[in-house]
């Protein structure tokens, strides 16, 4: 594909965009991951059930999913210039109000707000923007950007655990609110639209798409797969810390395991992005999905620190590689002018899967008194994801053969 000079403007700014979105998404996903750390203190103070409290994760996932589609349409039509600023303000406000909550309805409401105007604006629309700052190696760029989410899910829950132990959960929410405002608001003003996406948005005929499947079919396949792969990954993200503390581990030990999982995940997102550049986005997606599916079921079974950490590293690496591959599949298979909507639609189903996985994991615990069925459910969902991706791969291969066999 010919490179236009306008796409080469400010190449250093493309990497600045990676850094900005890396940081903002780290904060968004960090707050999401920290729900697992707040889960037991809140349930203990207010008498909420494990499944009932896990619905906070479902709430933020649901609002991120629904409003993500709205922001995808806005991004494709008007750009993402102010998304970071709005997200910074709303995330900080929501966290501050969570420090003042006194009922389950407030807990749900403030996490709903965080998802709708925080996570939904700070992730997929900005990922779509970053992806089209790069003509060469977009997988690596998106992988590095998406690694921010894993870093946030490693650092924020761990720091929250230390703060909760020292100061309590209310003060911890206050510390988060102030920190998020100080970090996210200034860099939110640095966001600019990709020159490539901006040109295509203003001149719809400037870009010709070459892909053997329609955009609607592509998004349908990815969306169905994402539902199940996100069910799979949500169970350990939400319930690993409560499961370990149920087994007698300290909160610090449990969050350290989650920290290790997410640090491995940061590397997994970068490697997953680079792997997608090398072997193709869909094969990379299949490979990483296989890894998370075969590993997730073992979490309730492992004994000993070394085994737990090794399992956390492997699962974290592969599940996070999945996250990068989802973004890159969408980036490579749809046109620039549809990218915001496409990523938001697939994200809608992803958030839905995450929310369902978080809730079902808590529900099975409440029914059985342990996490065996919860993690078994996660592995079964991962298997369905693999079946869908395999059918998608075969459909794409057959379509490519049909196109190549046409007479010139």
Quick: pLDDT tens for 34-80.
887 888 889 888 988 777 887 787 788 889 888 988 998 898 888 89
Contact 259, 158 (CB under 8 A): yes
pLDDT tens-digit readout, 198-223: 777 667 665 666 788 899 999 999 99
Q: What is the pLDDT of residue 3?
A: 43
CA distance 272 to 270: 5
CB atoms within 10 A of CB 256: 22
> Residue 139 has which token pair?
């997988």
Asked if residues 320 and 57 have their Cβ atoms less than 8 Å apart, the reply is no
CB 186 within 8 A of CB 27: no
Section 278-303 average pLDDT: 94
How far is the CA of 390 from the CAs of 110, 155, 285, 386, 394, in angstroms? 39, 35, 10, 6, 6
Q: Which two tokens stand for residue 15?
A: 């990497």
Instruction: Please give, one letter per residue, the 3-state secondary structure of the chain.
Output: CCCCHHHHCCHHHHHHHHHHHHHHHHHHHHHHHHHHHHHHHHHHHHCCCHHHHHHHHHHHHHHHHHHHHHHHHHHHHHCCCCHHHHHHHHHHHHHHHHCCCCCHHHHHHHHHHHHHHHHHHHCHHHHHHHHCCCCCCHHHHHHHHHHHHHHHHHHHHHHHHHHHHHHCHHHHHHHHHHHHHHHHHHHHCCCCCCHHHHHHHHCHHHCCCCCCCCHHHHHHHHHHHHHHHHHHHHHHHHHHHHHHHHCCCCHHHHHHHHHHHHHHHHHHHHHHHHHHHHHCHHHHHHHHHHHHHHHHCCCCCCCCHHHHHHHHHHHHHHHHHHHHHHHHHHHHHCCHHHHHHHHHHHHHHHHHHHHHHHHHHHHHHHHHCCCHHHHHHHHHHHHHHHHHHHHHHHHHHHHHHHHHCCCC
Sorting pLDDT into bands at 50, 70 and 90, what band is 7?
Answer: very low
The pLDDT tens digits of the residues spanning 295-333 come to: 999 999 988 899 999 999 999 999 989 988 998 898 889
Q: What is the pLDDT of residue 285?
A: 95
R_g of the chain computed on alpha carbons: 20
Indicate whether 347 pLDDT > 60: yes
State the Cα–Cα distance between residues 244 and 160, nearest whole angstrom.
17
Domain chopping of the chain, boundaries? 9-202+212-401
Fold of 9-202+212-401: Growth Hormone; Chain: A; (1.20.1250)
**343 vs 232, more confident:** 232
pLDDT tens digits, residue range 146-201? 899 888 988 898 899 899 989 999 999 999 999 999 999 999 999 998 887 777 76
In angstroms, the Cα distances linking 358 to 186, 228, 239, 305, 339 are 33, 12, 8, 24, 28
Residue 137: the pLDDT is 80
pLDDT digits (tens, 9 = 90+) for 26-37: 999 999 888 878
The C-alpha atoms of residue 279 and residue 245 are separated, in whole angstroms, by 40
Evaluate if residue 6 carries a pLDDT over 70: no
pLDDT at 229 over 80: yes
Band (pLDDT 50/70/90 cuts) for residue 2 is: very low
The pTM for the full model equals 0.79
Q: What's the pLDDT at 393?
A: 95
Give me the chain's average pLDDT, please. Answer: 88
Is pLDDT of 9 > 60?
no
Q: Dump pLDDT digits (tens) for 79-125.
A: 899 999 999 999 999 999 999 999 999 999 999 999 999 999 999 89
């Amino acid at each position: 594909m010919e490179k236009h000079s306008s796409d080469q403007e400010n190449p250093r700014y493309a990497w600045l965009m990676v850094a900005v979105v890396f940081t903002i998404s780290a904060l968004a996903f960090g707050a999401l991951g920290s729900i697992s750390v707040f889960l037991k203190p809140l349930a203990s103070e207010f008498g909420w059930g494990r499944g009932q409290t896990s619905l906070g994760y479902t709430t933020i996932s649901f609002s991120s999913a629904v409003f993500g589609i709205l922001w995808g349409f806005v991004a494709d039509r008007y750009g993402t210039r102010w998304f970071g600023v709005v997200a910074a303000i709303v995330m900080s406000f929501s966290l501050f109000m969570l420090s003042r909550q006194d009922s389950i309805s407030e807990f749900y409401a403030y996490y709903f707000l965080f998802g709708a105007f925080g996570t939904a604006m700070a992730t997929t629309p900005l990922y779509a923007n970053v992806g089209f700052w790069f003509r060469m190696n977009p997988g690596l760029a998106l992988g590095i950007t998406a690694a921010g989410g894993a870093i946030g899910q490693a650092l924020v829950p761990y720091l929250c655990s230390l703060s909760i132990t020292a100061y309590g959960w209310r003060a911890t929410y206050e510390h988060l609110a102030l920190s998020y405002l100080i970090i996210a608001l200034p860099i939110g003003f640095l966001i600019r639209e990709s020159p490539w996406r901006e040109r295509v948005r203003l001149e719809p005929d400037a870009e010709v798409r070459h892909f053997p499947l329609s955009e609607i079919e592509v998004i349908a396949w990815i969306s169905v797969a994402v539902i199940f792969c996100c069910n799979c990954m949500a169970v350990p993200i939400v319930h690993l810390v409560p499961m370990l503390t149920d087994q007698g581990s300290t909160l610090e030990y449990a969050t350290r395991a989650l920290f290790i999982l997410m640090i491995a995940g940061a590397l997994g997102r970068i490697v997953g992005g680079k792997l997608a550049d090398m072997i193709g986005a869909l094969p990379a997606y299949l490979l990483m999905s296989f890894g998370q599916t075969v590993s997730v079921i073992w979490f309730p079974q492992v004994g000993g620190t070394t085994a737990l950490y090794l399992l956390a590293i492997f699962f974290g690496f592969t599940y996070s590689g999945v996250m990068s591959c989802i973004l890159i599949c969408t980036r490579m298979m749809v046109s620039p002018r549809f990218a915001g909507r496409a990523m938001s639609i697939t994200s809608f189903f992803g958030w839905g899967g995450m929310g369902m996985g978080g809730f079902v994991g808590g529900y099975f615990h409440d029914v059985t008194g342990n996490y065996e069925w919860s993690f078994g459910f996660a592995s079964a969902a991962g298997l369905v994801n693999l079946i869908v991706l395999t059918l998608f791969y075969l459909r794409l291969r057959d379509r490519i053969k049909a196109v190549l066999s046409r007479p010139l």
